[in-house]
Amino acid sequence: MTAITPRHIFHVTDNHSPAHPGVTAVITQLSRYLAGAGWPVTVLAAGPAGTPMPPGVELRDLPLAGWSGSWRYPRGLPDYLERVTAGQNCVLHLHGVWGAPMWLAARFAARRGLPTVLSAHDMLSPWHWRHGRLRQIKKLAYWRLLAYPAFRRMGMIHAITPREQEQLAGQFPGQRFAVIPNAIELAEADAALASPTAAVPTPERPYILFLARLHPKKGVDLLLEALARARGGQDFELVVVGPDHDPAYTRQLQKHASALGLGDRVRFPGPVFGPEKWRLYQEAWAFFLPSRSEVVGIVNLEAAAAGTPVVTTHATGLSDWTEGGGILINPRVDEVTAALEEVCAWSRAERDRRGRALRNLVTERYSWQAVGPRWLELYASLS
C-alpha cells in the first residue's frame, strides 16, 4: 500500500460537549484514530466544550458572541483559521449544517481554496424538514439564502450510509460524495466492560434498555406504547437512560408512562456515563432504539459491542444489521410491539447468540480498524 502523507485535520463543530452527544462522540473517536495514526488534529468548537480530548488532539473552544443564540456564532473564527492554516497541508472537516461555525469555515475555505469535507450527520433528513411548519419555513429560508450558497463548493460531501447519500443528493446536486459509516473503538469498549466498577450484580428483573438523548425523534414514546400493549414480557422492565433534549419533554414521557399504567416497569435514571453505561448495555436483555430519524447511531454500535442484541429502525441505514442477528423495524407502535414480544420470548441461548453475532458484525464493518483507513484515504485524496 502506498504511504499516505498526513494532513492537519481541523474539525469544526458548533457544540463539542455532552449536550451534543452524537456528533461529539463521532468527532472525538475520529480524532483519536487520526492522532493515533500520527496525523495532527485540532477540534474547533463554539463555546465551552467540556469534553476531554484524546492524547495528541488539540481543542480550541472559541467564545460565543453575546447575540448568537442558537446559531452559536464564535468570535474570531476566521482570524484564527487565517493564522493556523497558513502554509499548512490541511483539510477543514465541517460537522453539521445549521450552525454559524460551519458556515464561517465554509466561506473561509472557499476564499482560500482549502480542501473541505462536510458531514451533515442526519441534519438534512426528511424528518427534520417536516418537524414543525414554522421551523420548516425558517430552515428552508436559511438553507436557500445562507447555508447552501456556502456549502455548494465543498470538496466532498460525506454520507454515513448509502441511505443518507440518497437523501443528500437532492440538497447537493452535482457534488462529490463519499460514504463512510460511523465506527466504534472496541478496545475502549472492552476496557470499560472489564472495569471493576462495572462488575455489579445483574438486576433481579430482566430489562430492555433505551439509551440516547431524550428527543422526539428517538422514539421513546413508541417504546412506552409498545410496552403497554405487548402481550408477553410482563416480567421485563424498561430502563430509559439519557440526557434531556428538553426537561418538559422528559416530564411528558414520564407522565405518559404513568398514564399507560406502566408503574414501576419503567425507570428514568437520567444520563449515565463510563463503565456504568457499559454495564447497562451488557446486562440488558436487549437494546431498543426505535428512531424516526438516525444515521447508524453510535449507541447501536456500543450496545452491539457489549454483546447485546439491538432492535433499531430502517431509518438508521444499517441495511446489514439483520446479518448479525439484529432486528430492523419501522418506527411504528405495532412494529415496536411485535419486536418487543419477540425479544421477550427468546431463550437465553438465543439472546446470547444474537449478541455474539452482532459483536462480530461490528468488529468486521463498524470498528475503527475497519473504517479508519477509509478516512485517511479520503482526506489524502482531496485537493
Contact status, residue 327 vs residue 339, Cβ threshold 8 Å: yes
pLDDT, residue 18, reads 80
Residue 1 has pLDDT above 60, yes or no: no
The string of pLDDT tens digits covering residues 279-289 is: 999 999 999 99
The predicted-structure confidence for 364-376, as pLDDT tens digits, reads as follows 999 999 999 999 9
Over residues 141-184, the pLDDT tens digits come to: 999 999 999 999 999 999 999 999 999 999 999 999 999 999 99
> Quick check: 31 and 55 in contact, CB under 8 A?
no
Locus of grid cell 433528513: 125
Radius of gyration of the chain (CA): 21
Q: How many CA atoms lie within 13 A of 284 on its CB side?
A: 30
- Stretch 123-138: mean pLDDT, rounded? 79
pLDDT digits 0-9 by tens, 50-69:
788 999 999 999 999 988 88
Residue 276, judged by CB atoms within 10 A of its CB (0-12, 13-18, 19+), counts as middle
Nearest to 151 by CA among 112, 116, 123: 116
Proportion of the chain above pLDDT 70, given as a percent:
96
Residues 72, 274: Cα–Cα separation, whole Å: 28
The pLDDT value recorded for residue 133 is 66
pLDDT winner (highest mean) among 66-80, 255-269, 329-343? 329-343
How far is Cα 28 from Cα 21, in angstroms, rounded to an integer? 10
Domains of the chain, first to last: 8-183+368-381 (3.40.50.2000), 186-365 (3.40.50.2000)
Instruction: Record the cell numbers describing residue 212, joined without a space.
Output: 440516547
Rounded to an integer, what distance in angstroms lies between the CA atom of residue 229 and that of residue 227? 6
pLDDT digits (tens, 9 = 90+) for 199-219: 444 557 899 999 999 999 999
12 residue type, one letter: V
